[in-house]
Amino acid sequence: MSETIQVSPLKSITGELAVPGDKSISHRAAILAGLSNGSCFVENFLSSEDCVNTLLGMAQLGVRFEVKKGTDDLPVDLLIHGCGGELQAPAGKLDCGNSGTGMRLLSGVLAAQKFDSTLIGDESLSGRPMDRIITPLAKMGAQFETRGAKPGCAPLLITGGELKPITYEMPMASAQVKSAILLAGLFAPGTTTVIQPATNRDHTERLLNSFGVNVKTEGNTISIDGGQVVKACDLVVPGDISSAAFWIVAAACAPGSHLIINNVGLN
């Protein structure tokens, strides 16, 4: 049965609002706070299924967290108790849901652990090849077995261990691949270097610096020395520019609009 919905446009949009936390930064905050040497208060965490799956994945690896605002299913403000880089073997598979970001970033961390782990995802994620992270992480010494219906796809069985630093020239720009290598490089003795063909998002580099980890950037070359301590710090996750975009476009299209969107990340 069809239904007709009539939409009457507003003459103008006026007001002030805030949008939910940045998705990319929330993923990284959950991981780095979990690896830190103390407790981190993370404010305005994006309580989407993707980010919550990454948070729960870190919890399966031994990281404790307390919800200070929101609910267990929809956490907004969190106190994350870091494990000092000493993760423990998970009791089961780590479910990334539909999040390619979560799977790729966690792969970088798990590549360095002295235990086996398995990353799984939903049907959509299980059809997305992970070769772009497997190749550099395997060069560092991790072992991967892909058990998906398609070659190179999840589930990913990761056998981690002592990694070696590499210099890796990325065939295409990818913030997720770069981030996976840098996270693995935290655990590799020596200097791990990523050379990217073009500049892309540097959320990971900025957050690593915030956690006291020295990351060197010279043009499109990024280097990290292994063995550095991830120092606990508090974070306020800025609003997600992608969520703000809908409001920005709507206000731009409606003459006479005046809209303030507070605390939006513009990196």
Tens of pLDDT, residue by residue, the chain (267 residues): 678 999 887 789 999 999 999 999 999 999 999 999 999 999 999 999 999 999 999 999 999 999 999 998 899 999 999 999 999 999 999 999 999 999 999 999 999 999 999 999 999 999 999 999 999 999 999 999 999 999 999 999 999 999 999 999 999 999 999 999 999 999 999 999 999 999 999 999 999 999 999 999 999 999 999 999 999 999 999 999 999 999 999 999 999 999 999 999 998
To 10 degrees, what angle do helices 100-110 and 49-60 make?
A: 20
Q: Please report the pLDDT score of residue 184 as a whole number.
A: 99
Cα–Cα distance, 213 to 210 (Å, whole number): 7
Cα–Cα distance, 161 to 188 (Å, whole number): 10
| Residue entry with tokens 């077995």 | 145
Instruction: At 149, list the tokens.
Output: 């219906």
Q: How many helices (H) and strands (E) does the chain have?
A: 7, 14
Q: Look at phi and psi of residue 157 and say left if phi exceeds 0, alpha if psi is from -120 to 50, else beta.
A: beta
Cα–Cα distance, 53 to 40 (Å, whole number): 19
Instruction: At 9, list the tokens.
Output: 């446009």
The residue ranges of every structural domain in the chain are 1-19+239-267, 20-238
Cα–Cα distance, 82 to 99 (Å, whole number): 23
Cα–Cα distance, 125 to 223 (Å, whole number): 29
H or E element: which one contains 224? Answer: strand 221-225
Q: Does this model's pTM top 0.85? A: yes
Look up the CATH architecture of domain 20-238.
Answer: Alpha-beta prism (3.65)
Instruction: At 69, list the tokens.
Output: 């605002």
